[in-house]
Amino acid sequence: MNETHGDTIMRVENLAVHFPMGGGLFGGQRRWLHAVDGVDLELKRGECLGLVGESGCGKSTLALSLLGLQAPTRGRIILDGHDVSGSAGKDRKDRARFAQMVFQDPYSSLNPRQTVRTTLEAPLRLHGVTSRSEIDDRIADVLKHVGLRTDQAERFPHEFSGGQRQRIGIARALILRPKIIILDEPVSALDVSIRAQIINLLLELKETLGLSYVMISHDLGVVEHMSDRVAVMYLGRIVETGGWETIFTNPQHPYTRALIAAIPDPFSRTTGVKITGEIPNPLNPPTGCGFHPRCPEARDICRIPPAPLLEAIAEDHLVRCRRVGEFA
């Protein structure tokens, strides 16, 4: 990838999503689960930003916030110059036309009782497209884009393979002609033989339709193939961002190094150590650097609060680590 892209289409500033835990009818102290804890991100027009990290690090909660499906506790989301952090009503519908999502599981994300046509028609009618000829044209056009025939619109989900169902999911995300697509593990539920087809389709659509992607994944092989830039997330925070080549050839955060070292590749590109242990409980996060309980490079300074800041070490390369620069 590593292409030059234009201006910023989405900016996230100090975004946090905290969930209250406890303190119900029978009392008890209320505690807060910090699912997302002060995220700053930028998505350039026409690029794919890979968002990576282990399960439970906050990636999906962040994605729901970007779509307006989860209200943030604080922070701002700016889409194409417009602050949509508190969108409601018409603004929420405008956001839906601007940003859509492709879900992980092509089996559970489609209504088994609805034909493909009904699935694609519903969002059009919700957003004011009522002309039968326009609806038919839009459905035919989007099915062509994802490699399906127009006559297949009359079928039900069970009549399709997993790869075809994911194509329908992509068509549903495209039907409102959004500018941003959030891809939530878009190929992880598919057979290996089908994954390359869907990845190539997504890359083709990005170029032909001028889309911008945020791709959530724990599969760094897919991220390396699709992404222009990469953001690494751990315990609700971004710990490293940079161009894909920088991240994969010169990772500076120990967590990023460990993720890359875990890629099944006999010709490993780093000397990182594989991660041990579990992600700490976000109800009781570690002091200082959140990664220090699992970090093979941790020192006493890493345990001292506050948490390290996300700081630039080169152009478009930011790292959250007090020992940055010490790793060859």
Note the pLDDT of residue 221.
86
> Mean pLDDT throughout 195-220?
95
> Mean pLDDT throughout 228-247?
96
> Mean pLDDT throughout 212-238?
94
Which strands make up the sheet holding 99-102, listed edge to edge? 99-102, 180-184, 212-217, 48-52, 229-234, 237-243, 317-319, 311-314
Lowest mean pLDDT across 3-7, 17-21, 144-148, 169-173: 3-7
Number of residues assigned to the chain: 328
> Mean pLDDT throughout 241-248?
95
In the predicted model, is pLDDT for residue 69 greater than 70?
Answer: yes
Q: Tokens at residue 175, please?
A: 């039907």
Q: How many CA atoms lie within 13 A of 172 on its CB side?
A: 25
Note the pLDDT of residue 8.
95
The span from the CA of 53 to the CA of 233, in Å, is 5
Ordered DSSP codes for 45-96: TT-EEEEE--TTSSHHHHHHHHTTSS--SEEEEEETTEE-TT--THHHHHHH
Which strands make up the sheet holding 8-21, listed edge to edge? 31-44, 8-21, 74-79, 82-83
Q: How many CA atoms lie within 13 A of 184 on its CB side?
A: 20
The span from the CA of 46 to the CA of 248, in Å, is 21
Note the pLDDT of residue 56.
87
Q: What is the DSSP letter of 274?
A: P
User: Quick check: 30 and 22 in contact, CB under 8 A?
Assistant: yes
Q: Which CATH number describes the domain made up of 8-326?
A: 3.40.50.300
The span from the CA of 5 to the CA of 42, in Å, is 12
> Mean pLDDT throughout 177-200?
93
The span from the CA of 116 to the CA of 154, in Å, is 6
Write out pLDDT tens, residues 129-149: 999 999 999 999 999 999 999
In the predicted model, is pLDDT for residue 176 greater than 80?
Answer: yes
Q: How many CA atoms lie within 13 A of 288 on its CB side?
A: 16
Note the pLDDT of residue 267.
46
Note the pLDDT of residue 273.
54
Q: Classify each residue of 20-40 as buried b or exposed e, where b means 16 or more C-beta atoms within 10 Å of its C-beta.
A: eeeeeeeeeeeeebbbbbbbb
> Mean pLDDT throughout 242-257?
94
Element (H, E) at 312: strand 311-314
Kindly report the pTM of this predicted structure: 0.91
Q: Highest-confidence range of 67-71, 181-185, 281-285, by mean pLDDT?
A: 181-185
In the predicted model, is pLDDT for residue 166 greater than 50?
Answer: yes
How much of the chain exceeds pLDDT 90, in percent?
Answer: 69
Q: Highest-confidence range of 32-36, 92-96, 103-107, by mean pLDDT?
A: 32-36
Q: Where are the domains of the chain?
A: 8-326
